[in-house]
A and B are shown apart, each in its own frame.
Chain A
Amino acid sequence: MDSQFTATAVNYWAIMPILIVFGGALVGVLVEAFAPRSSRHSIQVALTLLTVVLAFGALVWKSVDDQGSTLAGALMIDGPTLFLQGSVLLLSFVAVLLMAEKFGSAGADAFTPMGAAVPGSPLEAAAARAGWGTGEVFPLALFSIAGMMIFPAAGDLLTMFVALEVLSLPLYILTGLARRRRLLSQEAALKYFLLGSFSSAFFLFGSALLYGYAGSIQFGQISAAISAAGVELDGLLLPGAFFVLVGLLFKVGAVPFHMWTPDVYQGAPTPVTGFMAACTKLAAFGAILRLAYTGIDADRWDWRLAVGAIAALTMIVGSILSVAQTDIKRLLAYSSIAHAGFILVGVLAFDITGVTGVMFYLLAYGLATLAAFGVIALVRDGNTEASHIGQWAGLGRRHPVVAGVFALLLLTFAGIPLTSGFTSKFAAFAPAIAHGGRMGAVLVVIGVLCSAITAFVYVRIIVLMYFSDAKGEVVALTPSVLTTLGLAIAVILTIGLGIFPSPVLDLAGQASQFLR
């Protein structure tokens, strides 16, 4: 080793989008500290949206021409990274629009006016009366977004771990900030935090084992070590790979590491749930792809069967348990578990077309799920969200547009042709059959059967909305211009990716080669 210190080369243009998002988050913290309370919300929303747009612009105009490994291999700015980062930014843009909804109150409607106040305490009531708002959700979201952008770009285990923490910690806080049903929200935050830390520990332990095996934390070196080495250290390799995968599979909500998903999805403020469901899943699958395709790929014959079993379990448990749900957010949580299984089927194809399919699926599913949670936030019974599905009865008659949008999104989740759900399912399943061997074919058959089960669940809600008589005083609020814009973007893209998916598919196809 050189005794002399050499500065690490940094390709600033390649990582500019990440830097912009971090910068925006830091400015957001300052805004929270110094801007007058009355204008904080507007400034924060504007700043956050501007940051996301700037980062996206930097990504599209500059980073694409500056691909390569940078920061001594800690970050790999390659096709998949850029596609996933761009998707995170696009989805975050929509998510921030939905988070900013005020419905006429002083701060963002979904968030408590004072996170530190005891639920139901005089302090909380006073904060609400004074018109306080939790403006820090926006910088928190930006920090999380930055973590999500690093996650799929990580070139070594340590960077991946740091990204995992950077994206998770703000989410734990965001989860606990719901304005309504605060105890449920805080319980969800605590659960998420405890289980999340637990899975992080798994990830770290696995990293240590892999380091012990390969003598390096860099994916390229680990991969090379697996190809070169004999069997004497296999006792480190397999547990290492397994524990690292556990840490990542936890984040996507794969069975049996899914237990947190329904509770957290239900407890978190609805826009945050949408943000988590769309962006966290995207970033975590990006990390899984990176790890599985460039890190421990040479060893895949040892672990692919186990991950295949996890994928099958995830699809089956997710779809079957979604049948029994009566809370719409929990239902979508189980549906997201099932979708994680479908995506895993694509991951297991171990082919470049599998990467394309998975990336397309993540984007399409993210848009649909964001819009779905956006719609859920609109449907109210009195002052609370009407989250029991029985309350949605007859919505189609009273609010045809809201119900129509939600029905479309449900059909998308069900994978009906001409929606993005179908295209993405096809994009993920086709490589699995083509390159996944017998296991791929079996997984696809399980996948389509589970799709039929989940279709039953979605169709039941459509039945309820359109063919049942209304009960109670459930109304859909009229969203603000920003929320409408966010929903419109998501819905139009959902239809667009269903009917004319070629441009995005081609883009994903060109961007699916990992740098090693």
Chain B
Amino acid sequence: MDNFPWLTAMMVVPLIGAALIAALPSAMAARAKELALAFSVATLALGVGALTQFDLHSMQQFQLTETHSWIESFGVSYALGVDGIAITLILMAAVLTPVCILAAWHDVPEGGSREKNYFAWTLLLLAFMVGVFAATDVFLFYVFFEAMLIPVYFLIGGYGGPGRQAAAVKFLLFSLAGGLVMLAAVIGLYMQGPRGPQGFLINSLTGLNIDPTTQKWLWLGFFIAFAVKAPMWPVHTWLPDAAGVAKPATATLLVGVLDKVGTYGMIRFCLQLFPDASEWATPVVIALAVVSIFYGAFAAIAQNDLMRLIAYTSISHFGLIVLGIFAMTTTAHAGAALYMINHGFSTAALFLVAGMLIARRGSTKISDYGGWQRVVPAIAGVFLISGLSSMALPGLSSFVSEFLVLAGTFQRYKGVGAIAALSIVLAALYILWMYKRMMTGPRPEGVVHRDLTWREKFVVAPLILSFLFLGVYPKPVLDILNPAVQRVLTEVGVSDPSPVVPAAAATESEK
């Protein structure tokens, strides 16, 4: 099985699924969701298979590599490969997709070709998500980066709530504008490299000696695209709109997985390819990240719309991830990489449980709820756990990553670390206040709803398991991430600041 193309297979399987579902005759359209679930689970199985082939102690940056020439005259190869960060993100996508398909079981009640297309688009999106994280060719990455917009666009614009068209267009335009700027930088980067038929491989473009001014421009071209995607303040405005109107399953994939392309891109491209420019830009990026953290948190507090609230919490969390990436210490970096995974799962749980509530109440307004823990106690409990994980309660997964990010940031930037730590308080505020407004209080009269169904239990079970497991024992994932993190930081050429322990305060030994 050594030469089995795991990553290609992980794209081909959902592609076949999407094509098959799209081609289903209308009489069979009701079978679309079962098929979609089967194909996404098969993809997940392949992902697990790929993980078994992944060598923690490999000397190569990328493993499971496949390289084929694609457009030789442009220097483009079909080159796939993963490092620790990429494979965990791919696995996260592969786990979240079946979960989302299960959660979206009754999203398109009218059935027929519309339902069919919904699941076909979702599977197509899965294929692109695998591709974007697995691409080790800058051009190929760009192709997936842009192509991904199409399924998301149709998922939001075709199936979302009121205002979906405007939100879908806004999403597409923000992403396209960012992406097209990146295209100019992609071409410019190629010209700086060795060119030739494999000129777009990341390996060919790493460690180049680029003139500082050019490097800064190129860095900026990439960073703008990723900042839009991540999204960071001030180019975040598309996210609340898009996530607010999208179906919960779509919002989950959008915020949980797709936006990670932004932060992943910062690590893979901004840092690895332009180390000097990244260091040059660090102060500004950190400032933007801190603004994002607090802007997202305050905006979340002010929301009365459940979906928008969760979207704003994500902006805050993405601020923390970006902070961890650009703090450039091993601890913060590992924390950021781990945070990407944890945030994916906890946001998924929040969105999907919120979706269950919305499906019952028929409203996204927080003020339309109240006292619901007496109506649907199990859902309320799950919602609370998801919320607690999102606000980084110790013992749940996000705590580990958030702590690592803050501690790592503190090593280098004490003031920033201290300020960013305040966001924990705000997180508690927006999560608990939301819970209070929706769940506590007297039981609303005459409101009877079914509590968690079996299907919904299967939706939340893997997510909650991930909180508990990664919260108590994150080591396996950190073991996968750490070599990759080390490698990136070596490429940038930074080392951790040595801890300064004043002799008098030696008892204060914690870092």
Interface residues, chain A, CB within 8 Å of chain B?
A: 356, 400, 411, 414-418, 422-423, 425-427, 429-430, 433-434, 441, 444-445, 447-449, 451-452, 455-456, 459-460, 463, 466-468, 501-502, 505-506, 509
Contacts and interface: CB of A to CB of B under 8 A. Distances in A.
Interface residues of B, number: 33
Nearest to A452: B177
Contacts of B165: 463, 467-468
Given A411-B150, A455-B176, A417 B143 contact: yes
A430 B190 contact: yes
B71 interface: yes
Interface in B124-158: 142-144, 146-147, 149-150, 153-154, 157-158
Nearest to A499: B70
Given A460-B169, A463-B157, A429 B184 contact: yes
Contacts of B180: 415, 448-449, 451-452, 455
Nearest to A445: B184
Given A426-B187, A452-B176, A452-B177, A416 B150 contact: yes
Contacts of A425: 183
A444 B142 CA distance: 17
Given A455-B176, A467-B157, 9 more contacts: A356-B73, A414-B176, A416-B147, A423-B71, A426-B74, A448-B180, A460-B169, A466-B158, A467-B158
Contacts of A466: 154, 157-158
A418 B187 contact: no
Interface of B: 70-74, 113, 142-144, 146-147, 149-150, 153-154, 157-158, 164-165, 168-169, 172-173, 176-177, 180-181, 183-184, 187-188, 190-191
A455 B181 CA distance: 13
A125 B66 CA distance: 67
A502 B169 contact: no
A356 B172 CA distance: 31
10 contacts: A400-B113, A416-B146, A422-B146, A426-B74, A426-B187, A444-B184, A447-B184, A449-B180, A459-B172, A467-B164
B160 to A, nearest CB: 9
Nearest to A456: B173
A302 to B, nearest CB: 26
A511 to B, nearest CB: 12
B177 A433 contact: no
Given A416-B150, A441-B188, A467-B164, A456 B71 contact: no
A202 to B, nearest CB: 34
A433 B195 CA distance: 13
A353 to B, nearest CB: 8
Contacts of A417: 142-144, 146-147
Contacts of B73: 356, 502, 505-506, 509
Given A411-B150, A451-B180, A459 B173 contact: yes
Nearest to B186: A426
A452 B74 contact: no
B74 A429 contact: no
Contacts of A434: 187, 191
A90 B405 CA distance: 59
A427 B71 CA distance: 11
A175 B142 CA distance: 41
B70 A502 contact: yes
Contacts of B74: 426-427, 430, 505
A426 B183 contact: yes
B67 to A, nearest CB: 16
Nearest to B140: A417
Most central of B72, B150, B183, B191 by chain A CB within 10 Å:
B183
Contacts of B158: 466-467
A447 to B, nearest CB: 8
A456 B190 CA distance: 28
A502 B176 CA distance: 25
Contacts of B142: 417
Given A455-B176, A460-B169, A433 B150 contact: no
B169 A452 contact: no
A465 to B, nearest CB: 11
Q: Which of B72, B113, B153, B176 is the most central at the interface, judged by chain A CB atoms within 10 Å of its CB?
A: B176
A434 B75 CA distance: 14
Contacts of A427: 74
A418 B71 CA distance: 12
A449 B177 contact: yes
Contacts of A423: 71
A427 B183 CA distance: 12
The 9 closest A-B pairs by CB, nearest first: A448-B180, A417-B143, A452-B177, A417-B146, A505-B73, A433-B187, A434-B191, A430-B187, A467-B165
A418 B168 contact: no
A220 B184 CA distance: 35
